[in-house]
Amino acid sequence: MTVPSVDCPKDFISWQGYCYFIENKDLSFFDAHENCNSKDSELVTITSQSQNRWLFELLRIYGLSRHHVWIGLHDIDIENTFQWLDGTPLTEGFFANSQPDNSREEEHCGMYWGDIGSEHWNDAPCSVKTKSICLWNHDRSNYLTYTRMICSYSYFVSRIFAYF
């Protein structure tokens, strides 16, 4: 497969034309989102099983296969309708068999599930402080996408404060 070459920012890892950053600090989903934004990036959007497996292998290399790791997935707007922070709807999810379960009706954010140590996901309370993965917004010229991110960000902030 031919993929476009890309020069990643410092500390980002290149794969298939995209750049990823593993954040080792323990942050809530919202703080992880802000932390990614401070690096011109967003919590990661995952759109294929190959990408999902590669990211989990990366976590394993970093010694994080048994840690929870935030990805950019949430169902804050509509319960059990998951979407990515960049506004992309979830088309193919890789949740663990028992998930998402919205336990205690307070789980609205998506993560690699450290409990099971595989590439499968769990929905968890957004307030959990744990690791995260950022995906660099290398297409800064796409004004429409960027504007949509800012709009959804404002909405996201207003919603998240309603929860906490």
Verify binding: residue 107, Ca ion, rule CB under 5 A.
yes
For the CB of residue 71, give the shortest distance to Ca ion in the complex, in Å.
Answer: 14
For Ca ion, the closer CB: 119 or 123: 123
- 75 counts as binding Ca ion under rule CB under 5 A: no
- Choose the binding region for Ca ion from 23-31, 35-43, 75-83, 97-105 (rule: CB under 5 A): 97-105
11 sits near Ca ion (criterion: CB under 5 A): no
| Residues 70, 20: Cα–Cα separation, whole Å | 13
Query: Would you call the peptide bond into 125 cis, given omega within 30 degrees of 0 as the criterion?
Result: no
Contacts of residue 105, defined as CB under 8 A and 6 or more positions apart, other chains included, come to none
Which one among 28, 35, 51, 122 touches Ca ion, defined by CB under 5 A?
Answer: 122
Report which DSSP code applies to 35: H
Taking CB under 5 A as the rule, does residue 123 contact Ca ion? yes
Query: How far apart are the C-alpha atoms of 56 and 137, rounded to whole Å?
Result: 20
What letter does residue 50 receive in the DSSP assignment? H
Binding stretches for Ca ion (CB under 5 A): 99, 101, 103, 107, 122-123
